[in-house]
C-alpha cells in the first residue's frame, strides 16, 4: 500500500529538485540524502519565520540550501537593500555579510535585524574607518564623496551618496562634481574611471586602498589560457576585479547583471570570475548553461549556515543583533536615499 510522503520527505524532494545540478564540492552535485539531512532544519526555519514574523534576505553568494531552502528574497546588494527598505516584518535575518545587515537596519530601523554570524565581515568594508575617510575628505574638500555599499555605516554617514556595482557608472556620471572621492574599492574605482572614459565622461576619481580578497586575485593570463582551451567561451567578471581582468572579460557587472548576461547569452561555456555561489544560482535557474571552474569562495559569505539562522530566530545572541548609533544611522540613510533617487529606474 502506498503511504503519503512525510513532510520531511516532501521537503527533501522539493530541495533535491532545485539543487540536483548544483556542485556541493568540485565535481560532486547535491544528492537526495544530503537534501534529506537538511530538510528538518529548513522546515523548522520556515515555521519559525511565521511564528516570529521574520523575513530572510539572502545574497546570491551564500550557500544554496539557504537561498533555496529558507530565503524569502535572494539577489544582489541593490535588490536586497530595496527589499530591506520595503520590509514590514518585525525581524529581518540577513544571510550575507555585516555591512549588508547594517544597511538593512539603516533602512528599516523599527525591525530587529539579525546577522547569522557577527564575524562575516568584508575586506572592503573593513579597509576604511570613518576617521580615515574624514582625513581623506579634508585632503580633497572639493570632491563629491561616493561610497560603495560595501562599507561601514560610519563611512556611509560621511558620504554624499552610496552606490552599488549596478548603478555606480550612472550615478557618478550624473554628479555635478568632476572630482570624485570613491571609497573603499581601489580596483572598482579604476574600472569605473576606465568605463566612464570609454563612454566619453571625464571624471577624476581618487580612491582609498581597499580591495576584495575574493576578486582581486583573478588573473588576466588565466583568462587568455581558458579562451584558448574553450573556444566560444564567454568571460563574466565583477567590477571588484583588476582593470586587466575587466578588460579581458566579455561582460563586467553586478552579481544581478552577471546572472542576466548569462541567461540572455548563447555560448558553449562561461567562466565566472566571481564568488561560486553565483554559479550555484545559475546551475539551479539556468541548468542548460555550462560553466568551467575558476570561481572562488568568499570566506565571510560562507560563515552563514542554516544552523546559525535557526539559532538567531530561536533566541538571538546579542552579537547577532545589529545596533547602530542613531546619528550615524540617520546620516548614512541620507547617502543611501540619495542613491535611490539617482539610480536608473528600470
Binding site for ligand 13P (CB under 6 A): 76-77, 150, 164-165, 212, 238, 240, 254-255
Sign of CA dihedral 101, 280, 302, 318: positive
Q: Which of 78, 94, 291, 300 binds ligand SF4 (CB under 6 A)?
A: 300
Tell me how long the chain is.
346
Question: 35 or 282, CB closer to ligand SF4?
Answer: 282
Only segment of 102-110, 210-218, 222-230, 308-316 that touches ligand SF4 (CB under 6 A): 210-218
Residues 145-164 that bind ligand SF4 (CB under 6 A): 150
Question: 56 or 143, CB closer to ligand 13P?
Answer: 56
Candidates 213, 188, 185, 209; CA nearest to 299 is: 213
Q: Determine if 122 is a binding residue for ligand SF4 (CB under 6 A).
A: yes
125 within 8 A of 212, measured Cβ to Cβ:
no
Q: Could you say which of ligand SF4, ligand 13P, none residue 254 binds, taking C-beta under 5 to 8 angstroms by partner kind?
A: ligand 13P
Only segment of 10-18, 67-75, 198-206, 209-217 that touches ligand SF4 (CB under 6 A): 209-217
User: How many binding residues for ligand SF4 (CB under 6 A)?
Assistant: 13
Q: Could you say which of ligand SF4, ligand 13P, none residue 164 binds, taking C-beta under 5 to 8 angstroms by partner kind?
A: ligand 13P
Closest approach of ligand SF4 to the CB of residue 184, in Å: 10
Q: Determine if 118 is a binding residue for ligand SF4 (CB under 6 A).
A: no
Closest approach of ligand 13P to the CB of residue 281, in Å: 11
Q: How far apart are CA 42 and CA 310, in angstroms?
A: 9
Question: 291 or 300, CB closer to ligand SF4?
Answer: 300
Closest approach of ligand 13P to the CB of residue 282, in Å: 14
Only segment of 105-113, 276-284, 296-304, 327-335 that touches ligand SF4 (CB under 6 A): 296-304
Closest approach of ligand 13P to the CB of residue 236, in Å: 12
Closest approach of ligand SF4 to the CB of residue 121, in Å: 8
Closest approach of ligand 13P to the CB of residue 78, in Å: 6
Burial string for 199-215 (b: 16+ CB within 10 Å, else e) reads eeeebebebbebbbbbb
Q: Determine if 284 is a binding residue for ligand SF4 (CB under 6 A).
A: no
Q: Could you say which of ligand SF4, ligand 13P, none residue 300 binds, taking C-beta under 5 to 8 angstroms by partner kind?
A: ligand SF4
Sign of CA dihedral 84, 100, 79, 39: negative
237 within 8 A of 246, measured Cβ to Cβ:
yes
Alpha-carbon dihedral 125, 131, 135, 140, rounded to 10 degrees: 50
Closest approach of ligand 13P to the CB of residue 100, in Å: 8
Only segment of 45-53, 122-130, 152-160, 327-335 that touches ligand SF4 (CB under 6 A): 122-130
Give residues in contact with ligand SF4 (CB under 6 A).
Answer: 97, 122-124, 150, 212-214, 240, 275, 298, 300-301
Amino acid at each position: 500500500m502506498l503511504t503519503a510522503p512525510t513532510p520531511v520527505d516532501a521537503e527533501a524532494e522539493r530541495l533535491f529538485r532545485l539543487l540536483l545540478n548544483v556542485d556541493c564540492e568540485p565535481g560532486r552535485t547535491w544528492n537526495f540524502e544530503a537534501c534529506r539531512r537538511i530538510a528538518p532544519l529548513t522546515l523548522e526555519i520556515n515555521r519559525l519565520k511565521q511564528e516570529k514574523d521574520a523575513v530572510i534576505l539572502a545574497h546570491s553568494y551564500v550557500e544554496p540550501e539557504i537561498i533555496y531552502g529558507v530565503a524569502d528574497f535572494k539577489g544582489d546588494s541593490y535588490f536586497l537593500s530595496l527589499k530591506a527598505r520595503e520590509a514590514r516584518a518585525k525581524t529581518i535575518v540577513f544571510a550575507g555579510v555585516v555591512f549588508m545587515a547594517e544597511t538593512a537596519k539603516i533602512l528599516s530601523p523599527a525591525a530587529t535585524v539579525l546577522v547569522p554570524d557577527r564575524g562575516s565581515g568584508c575586506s572592503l568594508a573593513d579597509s576604511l574607518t570613518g576617521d580615515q575617510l574624514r582625513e581623506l575628505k579634508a585632503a580633497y574638500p572639493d570632491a563629491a564623496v561616493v561610497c560603495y555599499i560595501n562599507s561601514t555605516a560610519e563611512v556611509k554617514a560621511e558620504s554624499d551618496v552610496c552606490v552599488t556595482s549596478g548603478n555606480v557608472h550612472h550615478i557618478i556620471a550624473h554628479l555635478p562634481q568632476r572630482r570624485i572621492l570613491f571609497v573603499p574599492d581601489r580596483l572598482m574605482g579604476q574600472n569605473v574611471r576606465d568605463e566612464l572614459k570609454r563612454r566619453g565622461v571625464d571624471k577624476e576619481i581618487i580612491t582609498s586602498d581597499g580591495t576584495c580578497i575574493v576578486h582581486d586575485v583573478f588573473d588576466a593570463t588565466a583568462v587568455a589560457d581558458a579562451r584558448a582551451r574553450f573556444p566560444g567561451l564567454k568571460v563574466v567578471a565583477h567590477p571588484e576585479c583588476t582593470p586587466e581582468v575587466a578588460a579581458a572579460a566579455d561582460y563586467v557587472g553586478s552579481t544581478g547583471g552577471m546572472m542576466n548576461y548569462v541567461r540572455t547569452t548563447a555560448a558553449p561555456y562561461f567562466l565566472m570570475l566571481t564568488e561560486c555561489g553565483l554559479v550555484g544560482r545559475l546551475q539551479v535557474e539556468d541548468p542548460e548553461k555550462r560553466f568551467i571552474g575558476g570561481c572562488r569562495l568568499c570566506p565571510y559569505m560562507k560563515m552563514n549556515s542554516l544552523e546559525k539562522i535557526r539559532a538567531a530566530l530561536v533566541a538571538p545572541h546579542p552579537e547577532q543583533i545589529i545596533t547602530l548609533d542613531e546619528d550615524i544611522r540617520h546620516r548614512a540613510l541620507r547617502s543611501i536615499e540619495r542613491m535611490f533617487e539617482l539610480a536608473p529606474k528600470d
